[in-house]
Amino acid sequence: MQSTSETAVADLPIPNGWFAVAVGDEIAPGEVAIRHYFDQDLVVFRTASGEVAVVDPYCPHLGAHLGHGGRVEGELLRCPFHGWRFDTAGACREVPYAKRIPPNAQAKKWPTLERYGFVFVWRDSEGRAPWFELPVVPESSSPDWSTHQRYDWVIKAHGQELGENGVDPAHFRFVHGTLNVPVMDAKEDGPRRVAHQPVEMRTPRGDVKGAIEAHSYGMGFSTTRFTGICETLEIATMTPIDAHTSHVRYAFTQPRVNGQDPKGGVAAAIIRDIVKQTNEDVPIWENKVYRERPILCEGDGPIAQYRRWCQQFYPQR
């Protein structure tokens, strides 16, 4: 029998904030795609001029799924059922067989942003407008930084559990085989959070001392800068597929050497090590229980502080 302080699956709600729903290049101009996040379908489309939009799937007319047979025509999305056409704000702009457009013919549009090669939507269970912003990340579009290297995982765990990894110094030695238990300090500022941590990274030249600085903007987006031997920026997104499953994406970029993307060597080893660490975390995440009141000890990281910070992104009950 399980006690009341543990559940087989974390009983945590789907958080609010900015979340990546696609990689920008996956959606070409004129393309319509279905994505499944936040326990529902979303329809993502890109107009002929390149603007990307995300709407709820069901047409306000008679409920056809806009992602199954819907087509982009110029700047509009045409419903497959009766041909109504919607703009990127979700407003119906044309009913092909009527002179008047019903005033509330409006598909639900998700606030959308395209940045760092990803398409983000704003999700808020209470319908509030975005109450924080995603940052400018100069390296992500700089010609001095390499082409993004992307990785992604679908993980059977809640995003809070994944993020907690970053405030849990003691696991590094046992899960990732690092030599020490790094100290860590973290500061919160509303929806933002900065964590700083000295680390040792395993490379072909042996273990090298470096530092990790992670900036989070809500639970769905973070940038992590690794310094020490080869500067690396990891842009990470976490998007809830449902309350128990997360889609995690990483995009790595590093300084170019003589105008070229770095090849092999230490640069590649760092990325390999970060990816390896995530692969090592997955079986822990997917098989653990969520302890609401864990027994913590000296040397554990700021876990309670991190969990309090997460609360602001949950539906206010």
Report whether 46 contacts 158 (CB < 8 A). Answer: no
Nearer to ligand FES, 86 or 313 (CB): 86
With CB under 5 to 8 Å by kind, the binding choice for 62 among ligand FES, Fe ion, none is ligand FES
**DSSP per-residue letters across 269-305:** HHHHHHHHHHHHHHHHHHHPPEESS----TT--SHHH
Nearer to Fe ion, 188 or 273 (CB): 273
274/176 Cα distance (integer angstroms): 10
With CB under 5 to 8 Å by kind, the binding choice for 211 among ligand FES, Fe ion, none is none
What is the torsional sign of CA 46, 51, 112, 146? positive
Q: Does 222 bind Fe ion (CB under 5 A)?
A: no
Report whether 132 contacts 217 (CB < 8 A). Answer: yes
Nearer to ligand FES, 65 or 176 (CB): 65
Nearer to ligand FES, 12 or 59 (CB): 59
**DSSP per-residue letters across 160-176:** HHHHHGGG-TTHHHHHS
With CB under 5 to 8 Å by kind, the binding choice for 48 among ligand FES, Fe ion, none is none
122/85 Cα distance (integer angstroms): 23
With CB under 5 to 8 Å by kind, the binding choice for 281 among ligand FES, Fe ion, none is Fe ion
Q: Does 281 bind Fe ion (CB under 5 A)?
A: yes
Q: Does 161 bind Fe ion (CB under 5 A)?
A: no
Nearer to ligand FES, 94 or 168 (CB): 94
Q: How far is the CB of 272 from Fe ion (least distance, A)?
A: 15
What is the contact surface with ligand FES in residues (CB under 6 A)?
59, 61-64, 79, 81-82, 84
Give the distance from CA 281 to its chain's centroid: 17
Give the distance from CA 169 to its chain's centroid: 22
Footprint on this chain of Fe ion (rule: CB under 5 A): 165, 281
